[in-house]
């Protein structure tokens, strides 16, 4: 059940079936305030038949534009924004508690190079300008363990086609997972896709987190519980 006192983001696109929760625990007062004040000023909206140029979302031109699909609590999104202030980042997340957490990071670090899409990413992706991103991140997505739910996994042929279209030639698609089934699924689908080249040359390239890939709470929890994260980097060819 959604907390009736929690602020929800403005509708930004068409509704479709969404699998999963939209909210967990009631938001703390300071996070509810950020949902009401900060979120509207950095929200990306999707309008019918509109093509969204990431460059138009920011007050000043950026050297690159990056997209994170499902940013969880926003730790990775905020770290990348803080370390790369000349880059414009768009983060997508539908879970309200995750959005509120990301807003707290954005507010604390005074990050003006982040925009948020607080709805189903499937409605945003087709609206984005082609070949406009230098990096796209998909970090620890829901693995949908049951075979009958496999069609809900983000990594599939259709979505990889979309990701390939959004990346500039030479751009990078990063995928992280700690779930053995999803690890194999993602690697199999992406390496078979003609638009992507796996950048790994040795085991440490996927077994050790790169220096410019910060840890997240979810990843650290997985490690404590004995799961082994994998870090995949693919080049758009």
DSSP strand pairing (114-117 vs 167-177): unpaired
Phi, psi of 96 (to 5 degrees): -60, -40
pLDDT for the residue 166: 98
pLDDT tens column, 42-62: 999 999 999 999 999 999 999
Token digits of residue 118? 């607080």
Instruction: Using alpha carbons, list the distances in angstroms from residue 139 to 52, 65, 70, 200, 225.
Output: 23, 17, 7, 17, 18
131/138 Cα distance (integer angstroms): 17
Higher pLDDT, 26 or 22: 26
85/98 Cα distance (integer angstroms): 22
The residues that are catalytic are 142
Q: For the chain, what is the mean pLDDT?
A: 89
In the chain, what is the greatest distance between 2 CA atoms, to the nearest angstrom? 51
Token digits of residue 228? 């082994």
Higher pLDDT, 151 or 185: 185
- What pTM was estimated for this model as a whole? 0.88
Phi, psi of 19 (to 5 degrees): -105, 120
Is pLDDT of 226 > 50? yes
Asked if 168 and 131 count as a contact pair (C-beta separation under 8 A), the reply is yes
Token digits of residue 6? 């929690």
**Best mean pLDDT range from 78-82, 179-183, 215-219:** 78-82
């Amino acid at each position: 059940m959604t907390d009736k006192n929690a602020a929800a983001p403005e509708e930004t696109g068409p509704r479709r079936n969404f699998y999963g929760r939209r909210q967990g625990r009631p938001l703390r007062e300071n996070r509810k305030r950020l949902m009401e004040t900060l979120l509207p000023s950095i929200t990306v909206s999707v309008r019918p038949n509109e093509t969204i140029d990431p460059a138009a979302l920011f007050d000043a031109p950026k050297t690159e534009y990056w997209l994170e699909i499902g940013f969880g609590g926003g730790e990775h999104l905020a770290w990348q924004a803080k370390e790369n202030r000349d880059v414009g980042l768009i983060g997508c997340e539908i879970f309200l508690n995750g959005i509120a957490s990301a807003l707290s990071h954005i507010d604390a670090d005074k990050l003006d190079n982040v925009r948020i899409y607080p709805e189903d990413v499937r409605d945003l992706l087709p609206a984005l300008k082609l070949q406009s991103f230098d990096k796209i991140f998909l970090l620890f997505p829901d693995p949908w363990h049951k075979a009958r739910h496999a069609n809900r996994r983000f990594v599939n042929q259709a979505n990889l086609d979309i990701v390939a279209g959004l990346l500039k030639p030479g751009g990078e698609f990063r995928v992280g997972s700690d779930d053995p089934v999803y690890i194999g699924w993602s690697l199999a689908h992406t390496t078979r896709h003609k638009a992507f080249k796996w950048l790994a040359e040795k085991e440490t390239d996927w077994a050790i987190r790169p220096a410019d890939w910060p840890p997240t709470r979810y990843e650290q929890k997985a490690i404590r519980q004995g799961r082994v994260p994998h870090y995949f980097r693919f080049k758009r060819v």
